[in-house]
C-alpha cells in the first residue's frame, strides 16, 4: 500500500527519500562498446543472437517494409498517429528560430547562424510495449530542425520483426533509416559507425540501464540528449479532486518501471486516504500490476501538507519530470512553479495527454534534473555557428583594446596578431 506522510510529522529527508535499485552495468557496457568499435557488424549480429535470441542476415529495415507497415496498422490507430503527429509538429514548429546579424558599428559585422545537425540517432526501446509515441516525439523535432539523416534503432522481437506500429510511426515522423538494434550495442553502433550503421552526431531517446550507461560512455564522442532515469509523476491537489482520477494518474507512471516514482502532495487528509484506497482498487486491474505494485510501495508516497503553498514548495524542491496541478485555478499556481519537466493543468489533463497526443514533448528531465535541464525540443537538433568581420578601419580602431586585453593575460602572440594589422594599414 502506498504510504501517507504528514509534513508535520516527518523530516524533509523522509519526504524526498526514494529507493532506486539500479544495477551497475558500466563494465559490461564498456565491453560491448569496445567490441562494436573493433568488430562492427560482426559484433552487432553476435549480440543480437545473445541478447535478442534472433539470427538475422540484415540489420536494416527496407523502405518497402516501412511502407507496408502503414497498411498493417489498423486504420483507427493510424488515424490517431496522424493526429498526434500533427499536434507534435504544430507545437515544435514554434520552436524554430533563425540566426541574427549585428551591424551597428561601422565596418563591423557579427552574427550567429543556426544550423541543423547532419546526422542524428534515435533509440526506441522494444519489449512488450511498442512505444510508437517515442518515435514521434524524437523524430519529428529532428525533422523540423532540418537534420539531413535521422537514423532510428529499435530491437526486433523473437521473430526478427519490428512491430508495424513502430515502423508506421517512423514513416509518418520522417525517419530516414531504421535498424533492428537495441541496448548498448545499438548506442555503440550509432556512436562508432559500422559497415551497415552510419555514425551520427547526436543520440537521443530513452532506454533501460544498458542504454543509459552506453549513452553516458559515448558522450563526448557524440552528443546525447540526457541520461534519463526512472519515470516520475508528482501531483499537487486540493481536496476537491476525484480520488479515482488521481489514483489512475499515479498508476499510469507506476506501471512503467519498478523504480518509477508516483507522488501525490495534497493539503487534504480525506483525499489522501481516498486515493490510498482507490489505488488498491485499481492496481490489480493493470496488465503490469506487479511492476506498479513494486513502484508504489518502493518509491510512491502521499504527502499531506498544511496548505497548497507548502505543496508547491515541495514540488519545486523535487523538480519532477511530470507535474500535475489538479486544483481549482491551476494557472494561478503555474507562475509559482520553477522546476518541472512538463506541467499538466487542471483536473481534466492527465499526464497521458502529454505522453501521446497534446504536442509538447514527452522526453523530459528526470531525477531532479529539471532544475537545470529542459524537455527535448528542436533546439536539441541544431547547433550555432558565430561569425565576425572587421574592415581595415574598424580593426585599426579596435586593435589597441585587443592588445591591452591580451597583454593583461600574458598572451603576447594574441596581442601581436591584432597590432600587426594596424602596422600594415599605416
Is residue 386 in a domain? no
Is residue 1 in a domain? no
The model's pLDDT over 138-170, given as tens digits with 9 standing for 90+, comes to 999 999 999 999 999 999 998 899 999 999 999
| 251 and 208 within one domain | no
Is the pTM higher than 0.75? The answer reads yes
Q: Which of 213, 255, 278, 321 is catalytic?
A: 321
| 285 and 409 within one domain | no
pLDDT at 422: 86
Is residue 66 in a domain? no
pLDDT at 12: 82
| 355 and 273 within one domain | yes
| 266 and 329 within one domain | yes
Is residue 200 in a domain? yes
- Contact assessment for residue 40 and residue 48, using Cβ atoms and an 8 Å cutoff: no
Is residue 377 in a domain? no
Q: How far, in Å, are 60, 64, 151, 221, 319 from residue 42 at the CA level?
A: 14, 25, 20, 22, 43
| 291 and 253 within one domain | yes
Question: What is the extent of the structural domain holding 421?
Answer: 391-425
| 338 and 193 within one domain | no
| 174 and 51 within one domain | yes
Is residue 39 in a domain? yes
Whether 321 sits among the annotated catalytic residues: the reply is yes
As beta bridge partners, residue 384 has 114
Q: Which of 92, 245, 322, 362 is catalytic?
A: 322
The structural domain count of the chain equals: 3
| 242 and 214 within one domain | no
Encode the chain in three state secondary structure.
Answer: CCCEEECCCCCHHHHHCCCCCCCCCHHHHHHHHHHHHHHCHHHHHHHHHHHHCCCCCCCECCHHHHHHHHHHCCHHHHHHHHHHHHHHHHHHHCCCCCCEEECCCCCEEEEEEEEECCEEEEECCCCCCCCHHHHHHHHHHHHHHCCCEEEEEECCCCCCCCCHHHHHHHHHHCCCEEEECCHHHHHHHHHHCCCCCCCCCEEECCCCHHHHHHHHHHECCEEECCCCCCCEEEEEECCCCCHHHHHHHHHHHHCCCCCCEEEEEECCHHHHHHHHHHHHHHHHHCCCHHHHHHHHHHCCEEEECCCHHHHHHHHHHHCCCEEEEECCCHHHHHCCCCCCCEEEECCCCCHHHHHHCCCCCCCCCCCCHHHCCCCCCHHHHEEEEEEEEECHHHHHHHHHHHHHHHHHCCCHHHHHHHHHHHHHHC
Cell of 44: 552487432
Whether 306 sits among the annotated catalytic residues: the reply is no
| 34 and 171 within one domain | yes
Question: Which of 224, 250, 280 corresponds to the end of one domain?
Answer: 224
Q: Which residue has the cell 496498422?
A: 73
| 200 and 52 within one domain | yes
Cell of 61: 529495415
Cα end-to-end distance, the chain, whole Å: 84
User: At 328, which CATH number?
Assistant: 3.40.50.1980
Q: How far, in Å, are 253, 313, 344, 350, 362 from residue 354 at the CA level?
A: 12, 23, 8, 8, 6
Q: Which residue has the cell 504536442?
A: 359
Question: Which of 178, 205, 224 corresponds to the end of one domain?
Answer: 224
Is residue 2 in a domain? no
Question: Which of 169, 198, 224 corresponds to the end of one domain?
Answer: 224
The span from the CA of 282 to the CA of 251, in Å, is 8
| 292 and 251 within one domain | yes
Is residue 383 in a domain? no
pLDDT < 70: residue spans in the chain: 18-22, 424-426
Q: Which residue has the cell 567490441?
A: 35
| 236 and 201 within one domain | no
Amino acid at each position: 500500500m502506498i504510504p501517507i506522510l504528514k509534513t508535520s510529522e516527518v523530516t524533509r529527508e523522509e519526504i524526498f527519500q526514494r529507493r532506486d535499485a539500479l544495477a551497475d552495468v558500466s563494465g559490461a557496457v564498456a565491453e560491448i562498446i569496445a567490441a562494436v568499435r573493433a568488430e562492427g557488424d560482426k559484433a552487432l549480429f553476435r549480440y543480437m543472437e545473445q541478447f535478442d535470441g534472433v539470427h538475422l542476415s540484415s540489420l536494416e529495415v527496407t523502405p518497402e517494409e516501412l511502407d507496408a507497415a502503414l497498411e498493417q496498422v489498423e486504420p483507427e490507430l493510424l488515424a490517431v498517429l496522424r493526429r498526434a503527429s500533427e499536434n507534435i509538429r504544430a507545437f515544435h514548429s514554434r520552436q524554430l528560430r533563425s540566426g541574427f546579424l549585428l551591424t551597428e558599428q561601422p565596418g563591423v559585422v557579427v552574427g550567429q547562424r543556426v544550423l541543423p545537425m547532419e546526422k542524428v540517432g534515435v533509440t526506441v526501446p522494444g519489449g512488450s510495449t511498442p512505444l510508437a509515441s517515442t518515435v514521434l516525439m524524437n523524430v519529428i523535432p529532428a525533422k523540423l530542425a532540418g537534420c539531413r539523416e535521422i537514423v532510428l534503432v529499435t530491437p526486433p522481437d523473437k521473430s526478427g520483426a519490428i512491430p508495424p506500429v513502430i515502423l508506421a510511426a517512423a514513416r509518418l515522423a520522417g525517419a530516414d533509416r531504421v535498424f533492428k538494434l537495441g541496448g548498448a550495442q545499438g548506442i555503440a553502433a550509432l556512436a562508432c559507425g559500422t559497415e551497415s550503421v552510419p555514425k551520427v552526431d547526436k543520440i537521443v531517446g530513452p532506454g533501460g540501464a544498458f542504454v543509459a550507461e552506453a549513452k553516458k560512455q559515448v558522450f563526448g564522442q557524440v552528443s546525447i540528449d540526457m541520461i534519463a532515469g526512472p519515470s516520475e509523476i508528482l501531483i499537487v491537489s486540493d481536496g476537491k479532486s476525484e480520488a479515482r482520477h488521481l489514483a489512475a494518474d499515479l498508476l499510469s507512471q507506476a506501471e512503467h518501471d519498478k523504480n518509477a516514482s508516483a507522488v501525490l502532495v495534497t493539503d487534504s487528509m480525506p483525499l489522501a486516504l481516498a486515493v490510498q484506497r482507490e489505488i488498491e482498487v485499481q492496481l490489480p486491474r493493470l496488465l503490469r500490476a506487479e511492476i506498479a505494485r513494486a513502484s508504489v510501495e518502493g518509491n510512491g508516497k502521499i504527502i499531506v501538507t498544511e496548505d497548497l503553498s507548502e505543496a508547491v514548495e515541495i514540488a519545486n524542491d523535487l523538480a519532477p519530470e511530470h507535474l500535475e496541478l489538479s486544483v481549482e485555478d491551476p494557472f494561478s499556481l503555474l507562475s509559482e512553479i520553477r522546476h518541472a519537466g512538463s506541467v499538466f493543468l487542471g483536473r481534466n489533463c492527465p499526464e497521458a495527454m502529454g505522453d501521446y497526443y497534446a504536442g509538447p514533448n514527452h522526453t523530459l528531465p528526470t531525477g531532479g534534473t529539471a532544475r537545470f535541464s529542459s524537455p527535448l525540443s528542436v533546439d536539441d537538433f541544431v547547433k550555432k555557428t558565430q561569425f565576425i568581420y572587421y574592415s581595415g578601419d574598424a580593426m585599426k580602431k579596435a586593435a589597441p583594446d585587443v592588445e591591452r586585453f591580451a597583454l593583461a593575460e600574458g598572451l603576447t602572440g594574441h596581442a601581436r596578431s591584432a597590432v600587426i594589422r594596424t602596422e600594415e594599414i599605416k
